[in-house]
Chain A
Amino acid sequence: TQLLEQSPQFLSIQEGENLTVYCNSSSVFSSLQWYRQEPGEGPVLLVTVVTGGEVKKLKRLTFQFGDARKDSSLHITAAQPGDTGLYLCAGARAYKYIFGTGTRLKVLA
């Protein structure tokens, strides 16, 4: 059972555009993480959000945790080719992490 759904699955945009990736669940998580994975490498942590309603910014990336701690969003402002990669959300629940289905982003120069 896939507990975390990400949308969109694929996104191809021009450099300079803005985009939002969504991570949705019907389950509550104690925290939520966002990772980025580049080809041939393992995922690397971008951010962890813990409190419902929390917003965190990492340069041009803005992460938000839903008030009910069931969903999250990642917004990228003025996307650059270096943002290209697979974005994964992961919810912490019980003693393990549940990963989302992933969003593959391609930013064209």
Chain B
Amino acid sequence: DVKVTQSSRYLVKRTGEKVFLECVQDMDHENMFWYRQDPGLGLRLIYFSYDVKMKEKGDIPEGYSVSREKKERFSLILESASTNQTSMYLCASSLFDSGGLAGGFGGNEQFFGPGTRLTVL
């Protein structure tokens, strides 16, 4: 049974704290993604990685950084948490699409974790 796991289901932090969200997948997928989900806005891509130590900015990278030291693990870091980062954070993984970086990205199935609901007070 394929799985994407996230380190916490619920997290409460204070403004200014450094926050680490961890994601682990057991499917040997090359691609990993971090999204945030807010009502009425759908899922918005924060960062994505297509290989170890590689990262690409998504649509809303400001205030976030990521780390991918091992293929199965992708971490999202909030350097100094702010109240507007209160949200549901979803991690996903997928197989690499060879057309992706050169165009013709067909889009393989993304497998999602259960999400981390982060509240910043």
Q: Return chain B residues, CB-CB under 8 Å to A31.
A: 106-107
Q: Name the CB-closest residue of A to B9.
A: A40
Task: Write out the residue numbers on chain A whose beta carbons fall within 8 Å of the beta carbon of B115.
Answer: 40-42
Contact in complex: B105, A44 (CB < 8 Å): no
- By the criterion CB–CB under 8 Å, are B112 and A43 in contact? yes
- Cα distance A31–B110 when bound, in Å? 13
Q: Which residues in window 78-121 of B have CB below 8 A to A?
A: 90, 92, 97, 100-101, 103-107, 109-110, 112-115
Give min CB distance, A88 to chain B, whole Å: 6
B interface: dominant SS: loop
Q: Assign chain A's interface to a size class.
A: 20 to 34
Q: Is the CB of A99 within 8 A of B42?
A: yes
Residues of A within 8 A of B56 (CB): 95-96
The answer to whether A42 touches B42 (Cβ under 8 A) is: no
What 1/0 flags go to A75-98 for Cβ under 8 Å of B?
Answer: 000000000000010101111110
Docked-complex contact A9 and B40, CB < 8 angstroms: yes
Query: A93 contacts B42, CB within 8 Å?
Result: no
> Does A105 reach chain B (CB closer than 8 Å)?
no
The answer to whether A33 and B4 touch across the interface, beta carbons within 8 angstroms, is no
Q: Please tell me which one of the listed residues A41, A45, A99 contacts residue B109 in the complex, with CB atoms under 8 A apart.
A: A45
**CA separation between A4 and B44, bound complex, in Å?**
11
| A95 near B101: Cβ-Cβ < 8 Å | yes
**Interface presence of A101 (CB below 8 A):** yes
> Which chain A residues numbered 36 to 64 have a C-beta less than 8 Å away from chain B?
40-45, 48, 50
In contact, A41 and B48 (Cβ under 8 angstroms): no
Contact B106 A95 (CB under 8 A): no
A-B contact pairs, 17 of them (CB 8 A): A2-B42, A40-B114, A42-B90, A42-B92, A42-B114, A44-B112, A45-B110, A88-B42, A95-B105, A96-B56, A97-B33, A97-B45, A97-B110, A99-B43, A100-B42, A101-B40, A101-B42
